[in-house]
């Protein structure tokens, strides 16, 4: 098995003075110090980065070597699976450890987006859609199709989506690394206004996650090194499931890729959804978080909104979701997101999530998604030692 023994995380936001390399080095240095190791102890580097033209650095794998001369000559590899590129790096590093070819892995997720205009960011992210049928479709446009399909089948869920936005913004107040650390009123989120325009009906600005710069990093080690480490969180069960690209060939509301990834991870960890204490899930759009509740098995199809009325997924609820503020308020530097989620659940597992902490959390879910349910990564984490 594989454990997380160190983590790092830049603030997410508009970080004008930090290049992609600066972000990699800033985030990547922290988990080494946190785990009490140096570059010489590291057996390989895995970098999650989407890019798609957002920066000129088309070959970022070796940039992390600026952290420490001891990293030179180690294998370094970039992984890309759209907005799940960060988890792709986590999973590849984990397999290198399970293969017996690394004992200690440095994993970094990174993205640099805010220097671009909004249309340019939208165009870059659009490269994660199926180009043959969907070229030119924006990601708000993609998830608007999911939302419209949901509304058509189960009725207007504008208020439920507004509750998700308000919940995640409310949680962000407790996360000093979040891009927007401020609450947001549910009624404001529910209404179209000058400050909350419709982006792609029925999705408004407050239904969309943020454009962000940032990086996050982890040290992973093989279980046999845990006795030497000050702290450890185990990846108890993980699963990756990819679906076909074309939206026209998928049942959008079945959200089959996410459902299969999450349930396979449950099975591998030997748990059910009722065992989970906390989750960080991929709320790239509020409708995605709503569909993920159903994919998790928290609610039957069409019934996810009940969770928001009952407070189940709010701070202090039975299974708080996105205590970090989520992509919605923490920010979504796409290649960093999956790594960020793993750092946040790791902190929850050891009671080290500060003001975000869910008391007594002992089993956590990360669910990170690339495209519209195309690349799906689920991880179940548990504490080993604090």
Distance of CA 158 to the CA centre of its chain: 24
What are 357's two structure tokens? 């902490």
Give the torsion sign (CA, 143, 169, 291, 296): positive
Query: In this chain, which of 18, 21, 70, 115 binds a copy of itself, going by CB under 8 A?
Result: 21
Query: In this chain, which of 29, 81, 322, 368 binds a copy of itself, going by CB under 8 A?
Result: 81
Opening angle at CA 245, ends 240 and 248, nearest 5? 130
What are 322's two structure tokens? 């996105």
Query: In this chain, which of 206, 209, 240, 286 binds a copy of itself, going by CB under 8 A?
Result: 240
Query: Binding segment for a copy of itself among 84-92, 145-153, 194-202, 321-329 (CB under 8 A)?
Result: 84-92
314 is an active site residue: no
Query: In this chain, which of 18, 148, 242, 357 binds a copy of itself, going by CB under 8 A?
Result: 242
Query: Binding segment for a copy of itself among 58-66, 175-183, 187-195, 269-277 (CB under 8 A)?
Result: 58-66
CB of 71 to a copy of itself, least distance (A): 9
How far is it, in rounded angstroms, from Cα 370 to Cα 386? 32
- The verdict on 379 binding a copy of itself (CB under 8 A) reads no
- Catalytic site residue from 49, 263, 314, 332: 332
x-or-dash string of contact with a copy of itself, 349-378, rule CB under 8 A: ---------------------xx--xx---
- The verdict on 220 binding a copy of itself (CB under 8 A) reads no
- The verdict on 73 binding a copy of itself (CB under 8 A) reads yes
Q: What are phi and psi of 169, to 5 degrees?
A: -65, -40
Query: In this chain, which of 3, 26, 65, 265 binds a copy of itself, going by CB under 8 A?
Result: 65
- Catalytic site residue from 3, 9, 49, 83: 83
What are 124's two structure tokens? 């870059």
332 is an active site residue: yes
> Which residues have CB under 8 Å from 120's CB, separation 6+?
54
State which residue, 93 or 189, has the beta carbon closest to a copy of itself: 93
State which residue, 2 or 233, has the beta carbon closest to a copy of itself: 2
How far is it, in rounded angstroms, from Cα 237 to Cα 220? 15
What are 42's two structure tokens? 């590291």
- The verdict on 131 binding a copy of itself (CB under 8 A) reads yes
How far is it, in rounded angstroms, from Cα 304 to Cα 320? 14
Instruction: Tell me the sheet residues that pair with 32.
Output: none
Q: Decide: helix, strand or coil at residue 261.
A: helix
Query: Binding segment for a copy of itself among 45-53, 173-181, 219-227, 302-310 (CB under 8 A)?
Result: 45-53
* Residues 76 and 61 sit within 8 Å (Cβ to Cβ): yes
Helix 256-269 × helix 286-296 angle, to 10°? 50
Scan for tokens 């702290």, then name that residue. Answer: 231
Active site residues: 83, 332
Residues that bind a copy of itself in the complex, under the rule CB under 8 A = 19, 21, 45, 50-53, 55-59, 61-63, 65-66, 72-82, 88, 91-92, 94-101, 124, 127-129, 131-132, 135, 240-245, 256-257, 260, 370-371, 374-375
């Amino acid at each position: 098995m594989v454990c997380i023994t160190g983590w790092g995380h830049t603030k997410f936001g508009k970080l004008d003075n930090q290049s992609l390399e600066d972000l990699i080095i800033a985030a990547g240095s922290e988990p080494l110090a946190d785990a009490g190791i140096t570059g010489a102890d590291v057996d390989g580097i895995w970098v999650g980065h989407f890019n798609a033209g957002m920066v000129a650095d088309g070959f970022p794998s070796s940039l992390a070597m600026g952290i420490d001369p001891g990293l030179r000559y180690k294998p370094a590899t970039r992984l890309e699976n759209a907005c799940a590129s960060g988890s792709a790096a986590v999973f590849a590093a984990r397999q290198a450890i399970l293969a017996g070819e690394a004992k200690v892995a440095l994993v970094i997720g990174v993205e640099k987006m805010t220097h671009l205009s909004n249309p340019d960011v939208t165009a870059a992210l659009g490269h994660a859609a199926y180009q043959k049928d969907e070229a030119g479709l924006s990601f708000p446009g993609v998830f608007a199709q999911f939302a419209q399909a949901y509304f058509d089948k189960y009725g207007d869920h504008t208020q439920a989506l507004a509750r998700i936005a308000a919940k995640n913004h409310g949680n962000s107040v407790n996360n000093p690394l979040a891009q927007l650390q401020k609450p947001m009123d549910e009624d404001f989120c529910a209404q179209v206004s000058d400050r909350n325009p419709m982006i792609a009906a029925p999705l408004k600005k407050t239904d969309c996650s943020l454009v962000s710069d940032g990086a996050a990093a982890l040290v992973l080690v093989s279980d046999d090194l845990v006795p030497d480490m000050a702290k450890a969180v185990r990846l108890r069960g993980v699963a990756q499931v990819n679906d076909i690209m074309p939206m026209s060939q998928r049942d959008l509301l079945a959200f089959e890729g996410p459902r299969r990834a999450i349930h396979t991870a449950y099975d591998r960890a030997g748990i059910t959804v009722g065992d989970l204490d906390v989750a960080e899930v991929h709320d790239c759009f509020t409708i995605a978080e709503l569909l993920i509740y159903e994919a998790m098995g928290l609610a039957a199809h069409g019934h996810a909104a009940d969770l928001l009325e009952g407070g189940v997924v709010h701070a202090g609820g039975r299974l708080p979701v996105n205590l970090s503020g989520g992509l919605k308020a923490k920010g979504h530097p796409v290649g960093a997101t999956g790594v960020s989620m793993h750092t946040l659940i790791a902190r929850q597992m050891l009671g080290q999530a500060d003001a975000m902490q869910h008391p007594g959390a002992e089993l956590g879910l990360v669910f990170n998604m690339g495209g519209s349910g195309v690349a799906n990564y689920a991880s179940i984490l548990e504490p080993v030692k604090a």
